[in-house]
């Protein structure tokens, strides 16, 4: 008789996928934050240049 290991295998894979998905989501949030910061650095800081156009 073999031990019933499928439930533990299922939960192990589930935990791995949840952790991996959360890690990828946090990387995505960090990348978008850096992109926003970089785009702000490229914009002029004074309103005089916008009104002159």
Contact between residue 44 and residue 50 where contact means Cβ atoms under 8 Å apart: yes
What does pTM read for this prediction?
A: 0.62
What is the spatial distance between Cα 7 and Cα 19, in angstroms, rounded to a whole number?
18
Structure confidence at residue 47 (pLDDT): 56
The tokens describing 14, both together, are 């589930």
pLDDT in tens, 1-53: 456 778 888 899 999 999 999 999 999 999 999 999 998 887 655 555 555 55
Structure confidence at residue 52 (pLDDT): 52
């Amino acid at each position: 008789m073999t031990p019933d290991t499928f439930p533990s295998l299922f939960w192990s894979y589930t935990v791995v996928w949840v952790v991996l998905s959360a890690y990828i989501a946090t990387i995505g949030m960090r990348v978008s934050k850096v992109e926003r910061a970089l785009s702000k650095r490229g914009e002029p800081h004074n309103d005089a240049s916008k009104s002159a156009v």
